[in-house]
Chains A and B, each alone.
Chain A
C-alpha cells in the first residue's frame, strides 16, 4: 500500500491515550508481513523482525490528543477534560466522536462569546466552558455513554494540493506510517538487522508506554519517530528558527539526551543518500518518547527523526507525504549501514 493510504487508515482510527487498542487492527494489517506481533502489558504494539545483526528499536506513539467525559448533564450535554494538550482555541463547533458503547456523533458547544464577561470576551474558551452536544435525551445518553469514556475530534483525512494532506492525529500516525515504510524498505533490501518496531501508548499524557517497551527490548540503538514543527506564518520570529519548511525533508534531532554519534551518522547518511534534512536542536530533553527510551533499564543509544507538520494539536494538522518518505529512507539507510555488529 502507498504511504498515503497507510497514513489515511491510521488517521481514521480515533485512539486517544487509554484507547489505543482502536489502532491494533490497522497496525496488524500493515505490520504482520514484517515480523511477529505482540501486545505487551502496557498495550504497546510491538512487531519484531528477527535478524542476526544489531538490534534497533523504532518507536512512534499511537495515542492522539482528545478528551474524557467527566459528567453527563441533564440537557444531554457532556462535560469534558482534556487527554493531552489539545488546542482549545479551535474547539467551538467542531465535530466529535464519543466512544461510548456505540459511537455517538456530537458537536462542541461553547457558551456564546457575547454572554461571557467583558474580560473573557475575546479569549479562547476554557475547557470548563465547553460541552459536547449529542442531541440525545439524557436517559438515552446515559445508556450509551459513561463517565470516563473517550472523545476524539471526528477523524478525517483531507487531500490538499500536491502530496500534502490535512488530517486528525498526524501526530503521531505520521510516525507510524514512516515506520511501516522503513520495515518495507528493510525487507526489500534484505536487511539482517533485528528490529523491534514499537507503536507505543500514552505519549500525549506522559504515560510513557515506550519506556516499558524499551526496557523489555534492550536494543542496541533506538530511533524515535515523532512529528515536529513546520514553519507557518503565525509562528512568531523567536520560534521560526525551530521550524522547518513543510516539504523540507526530515528533521534530525540533536539534544544532550540523544546519542551524538548516532546524530552525526544520521547526518552523514542523509548527505550520502541525497536526503533533505534539517537538524533540530534542543537544549536538554526532547519532550518526546526519546527521553524515556534513552534512559530505560541500562540505557539505550537514542536518536530522533521527525517529519515537520503544521497546526500541531489541532484537528487540521498538515503533513507532506514527501517528507514522510524522506524520513523513512533516512532511517532505513541508517539501519542498513549500521546493522553489522
Chain B
C-alpha cells in the first residue's frame, strides 16, 4: 500500500494531526479541497460520472498516544492517554515527545509486593532521564504529546508491524484512490479526533452531506492463541472485515449485503466482523445533518492501540479492491 509506511511513521494524536494533515495536503494540491475549522481535510475527486447518490469515503488521521499533564519535582512526566490505551500496552514501552525519547518504567519486580497487580495509567511516569524538574522543563511542557516509538517492520508471511496502522491505513487507501481513475465522483474525508470519541467526522459529513459513506478503518483482530470463534472478532488473512454492527453504529443492512455480494462476485476476500465491539466515525457520519447510510470496511489488526499493530498486506489489498468495486456498484444505484 503506497504511502502507508510514511503515514504510519508520522506523529498525530487527536487534536494534533498537523504533520499527517500536511503530508496529505502535499498530495491533494491538484484537487479541489477544503480544510475545515476542526482540521478535517475534504477532497473532491472527480470520476467519469456523477452518481445519483453522493458518496463519501472517510478515514481518520489521528492515532492513540499520550499527553503530558504534569512534571514532578524529580523530573518525571505524568500523563494521560489520548484515546483508549490499556495500561499493559503502556508499561515498559518507549514514547517520543517531539525530539525526545522517554520510557514508561515501573518499580522493579524485586521491590514489588504483588507483581500480578497491573499499575494504573495514573500511577505511571514517563522517564526522559531528566535529573530534576528544571532540566525536564527545558525540553517538555504540560500538554505536549507523546507517540509510541515503533519502526515499520515487514515480517512473517506478508505482515506489517507498526504504530498507527489505525487509521493511517485508511488515509493511505484514500490517497491511493485519489491517483486512480474512478468511475464515479467521490468525496474523500481525512478526519480529525476519532480516537477521543468520533469528534471530527460529524463536521465533515455536515459539509459533504453524503447519501452513502464508507468508513475505511483498522479494526481489532483477536485471532491470537487461546481465542476461539466469534471472540476473534476478525482474522488476519481472511480479507476485508465488514461490520454489521458495533458499539456505536448499526450499519445499513442493504450496504452490508451489497458489500458481501460484490466481494463474492469480484472474487475479493471478505469476512464479517463477528463481534459487536468498538466503534468508529461511521456513527458520527450516520447521524450528521440529514443522515446517511454508512458502512465500515476494515483491515483486521492485531494489538491495535499499542506500539505494535500487526496487519497483513493481502487484507489491505482486499479492502482497497472492495472499496473500488463498491464505488462502481454504488455509483450505479438509482
A residues in contact (CB < 8 Å) with B: 73, 75-77, 79, 85, 87-95, 104-107, 109-113, 115, 122-125, 129, 131, 133-137, 140, 156, 158-162, 164-166, 229, 232-236, 239, 242-243, 247, 310-316, 318, 320
Chain B residues whose C-beta falls within 8 Å of the C-beta of A320 in the assembled complex: 129
- In the complex formed, the residue of B with least CB distance to A137 is B157
Chain A residues whose C-beta falls within 8 Å of the C-beta of B32 in the assembled complex: none
Which of the residues B74, B89, B116, B227 comes within 8 Å of A92, measured between beta carbons? Answer: B89
A161-B105 contact given A77-B225, A89-B119, A124-B118, CB 8 Å threshold: no
Task: Quote the shortest CB–CB distance from A3 to chain B (angstroms).
Answer: 16
The answer on a CB contact under 8 Å between B227 and A158 is no
Using a CB-CB cutoff of 8 Å, which residues 70-84 of chain B contact chain A?
Answer: 72, 74, 76
- Interface of A, secondary structure class, is loop
Counting from the closest, the 9 A-B pairs by CB-CB distance are A135-B156, A90-B92, A160-B129, A164-B129, A135-B159, A93-B306, A311-B105, A316-B103, A312-B108
Chain B residues whose C-beta falls within 8 Å of the C-beta of A122 in the assembled complex: 117-118
Partner-contacting stretch, out of B21-29, B45-53, B120-128, B187-195: B120-128
Which of the residues B91, B116, B161 comes within 8 Å of A90, measured between beta carbons? Answer: B91
- Interface of B, secondary structure class, is loop
Chain B residues whose C-beta falls within 8 Å of the C-beta of A109 in the assembled complex: 224-225, 302-303
Chain B residues whose C-beta falls within 8 Å of the C-beta of A164 in the assembled complex: 129
In whole angstroms, what is the CA distance A243 to B155 when docked? 41
Task: Quote the shortest CB–CB distance from B162 to chain A (angstroms).
Answer: 11
The answer on a CB contact under 8 Å between A318 and B101 is no
The answer on a CB contact under 8 Å between B231 and A89 is no
Task: Identify which of B103, B104, B131, B149 gathers the most chain A CB atoms within 10 Å of its CB.
Answer: B103
B residues in contact (CB < 8 Å) with A: 72, 74, 76, 86, 88-89, 91-94, 100-111, 113, 115-119, 123-125, 127-131, 135-136, 139, 149, 153, 155-159, 161, 220, 222-227, 231, 302-303, 306-308, 310, 312
Interchain Cβ contacts under 8 Å between A and B, 13 examples: A73-B225, A93-B88, A95-B153, A107-B302, A124-B118, A133-B310, A135-B310, A162-B131, A164-B129, A166-B129, A232-B125, A243-B111, A311-B108
Chain B residues whose C-beta falls within 8 Å of the C-beta of A315 in the assembled complex: 92
Which of the residues A104, A111, A310 comes within 8 Å of B105, measured between beta carbons? Answer: A310
Which of the residues B72, B115, B157, B159 comes within 8 Å of A233, measured between beta carbons? Answer: B72
The answer on a CB contact under 8 Å between B106 and A234 is yes
Chain B residues whose C-beta falls within 8 Å of the C-beta of A93 in the assembled complex: 88-89, 93, 303, 306-308
17 more A-B residue pairs beyond the given contacts A85-B110, A158-B149, with a C-beta to C-beta distance below 8 A: A75-B225, A77-B224, A77-B225, A87-B92, A93-B93, A93-B303, A93-B307, A105-B155, A107-B302, A115-B227, A125-B88, A135-B156, A160-B128, A229-B110, A234-B105, A313-B110, A316-B93
Task: Quote the shortest CB–CB distance from B119 to chain A (angstroms).
Answer: 7
Task: Quote the shortest CB–CB distance from B103 to chain A (angstroms).
Answer: 4
The answer on a CB contact under 8 Å between A314 and B105 is yes
Total number of A-B contacts with CB less than 8 angstroms? 205
- In the complex formed, the residue of B with least CB distance to A287 is B110
Which of the residues A89, A94, A239 comes within 8 Å of B115, measured between beta carbons? Answer: A89
- In the complex formed, the residue of B with least CB distance to A109 is B224
The answer on a CB contact under 8 Å between A89 and B222 is no
In whole angstroms, what is the CA distance A311 to B62 when docked? 30
The answer on a CB contact under 8 Å between B115 and A112 is no
The answer on a CB contact under 8 Å between B107 and A234 is yes
- In the complex formed, the residue of A with least CB distance to B106 is A234
Task: Identify which of B102, B110, B157 gathers the most chain A CB atoms within 10 Å of its CB.
Answer: B110
Chain A residues whose C-beta falls within 8 Å of the C-beta of B306 in the assembled complex: 92-93
The answer on a CB contact under 8 Å between A87 and B127 is no
The answer on a CB contact under 8 Å between A124 and B117 is yes
